[in-house]
């Protein structure tokens, strides 16, 4: 680890805080908790105990859980533009790939961020939020 590079614990804490905040602000509800694992080139985040919106619960009760998962997939594709910069600030590395998987019963979302090479120019310090 080079001088000034965040520790794994620092990255995990910041990613948890930011992704929970973004998720809450975007959906109006959020997950109850998040678990983050930071590996060499990948950040995994599980947003657990996901709170569903009333309309999503209605759709699920009508037997169309697949529709809720599909809509959430599209939402997560749109939210990527907000998630990526949050993870880039925390890791100080470029996110080059993102995937999101929503599961119901139990309700959770898994977010996967593939990080670019360390040799790239460093990203702004985590304290330099927009």
Contacts with 40 (C-beta within 8 Å, 6 or more apart), sequence order = none
Q: What is the SS3 assignment for 128?
A: coil
What residue spans define the domains of the chain? 8-115
Least confident of 8-12, 27-31, 43-47, 103-107: 27-31
Express each pLDDT in 1-32 by its tens digit.
455 677 889 999 999 999 999 988 888 887 88
Compute CA distances 16 → 26, 58, 121, whole Å. Answer: 15, 29, 25
Reported as a pLDDT band with limits 50, 70 and 90, residue 111 is very high
pLDDT at 123: 54
Burial of residue 41 (number of CB atoms within 10 Å: 0-12, 13-18, 19+): middle
pTM (2 d.p.): 0.82
| Average pLDDT taken over every residue of the chain | 86
């Amino acid at each position: 680890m080079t001088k000034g590079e965040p520790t794994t614990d620092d990255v995990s804490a910041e990613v948890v805080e930011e992704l929970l905040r973004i998720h809450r602000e975007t959906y109006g509800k959020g997950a109850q908790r998040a678990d983050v694992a930071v590996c060499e080139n990948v950040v995994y985040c599980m947003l657990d105990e996901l709170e569903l919106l009333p309309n999503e619960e209605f759709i699920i009760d009508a037997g169309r859980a697949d529709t809720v998962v599909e809509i959430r997939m599209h939402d997560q594709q749109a939210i990527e533009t907000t998630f990526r910069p949050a993870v880039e600030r925390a890791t100080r590395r470029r996110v080059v790939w993102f995937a999101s998987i929503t599961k119901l019963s139990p309700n959770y979302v898994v977010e996967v961020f593939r990080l670019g090479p360390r040799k790239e120019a460093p990203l702004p310090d985590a304290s330099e939020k927009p």
